[in-house]
Structure 1
Amino acid sequence: MLSVSDAEAIILDLVQPLKTPQDTEFVDLLTAIARILASPVTSQLDFPHWDNSAMDGYAVRYEDVQGCSEEKPAVLEIVEEIPAGVQPKSTIQPGQAARILTGAVMPTGADTVVMQERTRREENRVIILAAPKPQEFVRHRGCYYRAETKLLPAGTLLDAPKIAVLAAVQCTQLRVFRRPRVAILSTGNELVTPDKPLQPGQIVDSNQYALLALVRQSAGEPLMLGIVKDEPEALKKAIADAIAQADVVVSSGGVSVGDYDYVEQIIESLGGKIHIRAVALKPGKPMTVATFDNDARPVLYFGLPGNPVSALVTFWRFVQPAIKKLSGLAKGWQPVFVKALACHELRSDGKRETYIWGQLRLKHGVYEFQSAGGLQNAGNLINLAQTNALAILPIGKTLICQGEEVQVLQVGA
């Protein structure tokens, strides 16, 4: 049985990220949110595109106002008013100024903006009551970005601020990595879909829906393959079909040591190489990780436990980082751990690395972890509903006291 850290190292070493050009496509800027750049982005435009004002005020020549004060103000003639979006018509001469609004183009001859709060206007004259700094409140062309230089590197996840940047510099067509295809299937004779009435002994297949949501959150494209009965031939066909169309296969159930747990022997019969069979993790000990070599690219197989909490915990800990790394993301695919103070006692038997689910919150600059409480076992999905973090008790650690520091894995982000 492997340690959690050894299992993580094996899995991430098996991941071969998507590559250019066979795994890329072009998308429009409007559909690029949450996509990952496959090549660096440059623009032919400087940003800002021209010298402009950062303040409502007056565009002036610094040498005309450098020594002024309330006792000795500078008096300038207003020759033009320049709102945003209008090209200036005048060249500012000695003794002149232009009324200018935020974002408007600086007129030729002016090099400084005096904010209106430091002025007084009298008809077509402006009285400057305080000397500005040289070039104050002027945003110079290209001061944020120079045309033809790298704007965003490959491997960048496109969020709202980056989409805004790309729009501002008129980059409207982007080469991005395709989303990794992740096949999801659930195994078990007892499983039924949520729309079916329950018969005695049956269980609703919640894993299919949870894993679908997690795959989407991980930048993957889920392929829903449904419920497969614990019958060797049916399982073999379903797994073979999944391997043929996906980059990653995630199944739940059938990986323990029960009489109907056939997944590992089917993987081997299909030519798969098993790298992990069990991990010293609670919940989530029975977990199979295998690889298949197909014509296009290697396929990574995760056989997760059937218990709902175990399936989610193992996905968060191992599968999500693998999918994110596979997706071409340059950074940010690793699990995120923080130190937090336990709000009450956390207990474990110390035999396996134990994950306790609950809520992480930031209070007065300090992280605190509040256990979900109740009965924490692998089948109790209900008190997992508000979870955003997992507190970790390492092997050999049986107690973390209230107020003691604990390592916490952030999830659900």
Structure 2
Amino acid sequence: MSDRYQAFVGTPIGKLLVKNLGLPAPVRLDRWREGAPLVDGTVLLGGDGRLAKELPGLLDGLGVTHATELPEGTRAKGLVFDATGLTDAAALAALRAFFTPQMRNLAPCARLVVIGTDPAHTSGSERVAQRALEGFTRSLGKEAGRGTTAQLVYVAPDASASTLTSTLAFLLSPKSAYVSGQVVRIGTTGTHDAAEVTDWEKPLAGKVALVTGASRGIGEQIARVLHRDGATVVGVDVPQAADDLVKLARELDGDHLVLDITAKDAPQRIAHHLQTKHGGVDVVVHNAGITRDKKLANMAEDRWDSVIAVNLTAPERITRELLAQGVVNDNGRIVGVASIAGIAGNVGQTNYAASKAGVIGLVDSLAGEVSDGITVNAVAPGFIVTAMTAAVPFATREVGQRLNAMSQGGLPVDVAETIAWYANPASTAVNGNVVRVCGQMMLGA
């Protein structure tokens, strides 16, 4: 579905009204295309923290051009600043010294990344300085404009620089087009090292990925992106969506399983199918979800129960069954699809918001329990343009699309790309995160 307002502001009269009335001016976001470079331009490096010396090597391994000074007349496509060396409030001046001269010299849809130390692992004045990085990067994302994003990556003190690789590959590329103002935490890999990725265009080659609610919308796009990255996709959906599911599975040369995930025996059936037909699973994406909106004063029992059952109870039951039976392979990935509604709330969605906040709780619960390199993370989409949002009343839809730093809605592929980053075998140190795919919403995010 095209964004008519975005098309309008690109016309001569639209540009005039934007300039004179201060209206939102969404730009067309760069999104990754197959065969394109990971970063189409130069990334400028700064800072002298504990990871600074290793960053050039990481970017070389990704095929990303980088420099510590830009040639005259060149615009930076990315800025990466190692702030792990900032140990007190006075040292924060280094942020201004690095970023300020570059802010008018950025290419459109540039990527800004600050690397810090998780404040939970610091104390005293250093903790003060490291916590300050969150306010800096969130504000930076909201004022950068022209499709530029800004992120903060906290790296545990004893984590090696190599644990950053998959995260930098995602955050510096057009794959993170609708992700901004986020805080990503990277821990240690424990006894299970992250797998080395030799082909960054097919990092999931030889892997099996389960996607629930795969027949249409965001689920379909997740299946397509994971297939693009090399995975064999096993799609799951209800009998009513069987025709679309079978068609997609054939197109992707994958597999399918038709069932209701809320059925009593659904976890056992899924586990049996994955074990017997595929020898296990490497990526589990809990995408299936429903809405049954009503204000709480008018909320019938069946509306409440059905949303909780599909969105929360089923993912928890399926996940625990797969883990209990050992169906999730070593270095496996479990990803939940939450929602910005589960973080900020929404009128008429107490049931939906509770279920999606519960998904975040499931991540919190399981992330510390899993072992053998298995990770548990979630995405929290904001306003994503789908057939469902197309049915939202015009005025509500327009407000929903504009109340973010990008002044536009996201696309299903934006959610899928974020999940593909989690799914990457090199993302073993990315565990327990909830990343909002919302264009950096102005409220609640």
Q: Does TM-score exceed 0.5, indicating one fold?
A: no
Which structure shows the higher strand fraction?
1
Superposition TM-score, scaled by structure 1 size? 0.29
Superposition TM-score, scaled by structure 2 size? 0.28
Which structure shows the higher helix fraction?
2
Structure index of larger Rg: 1
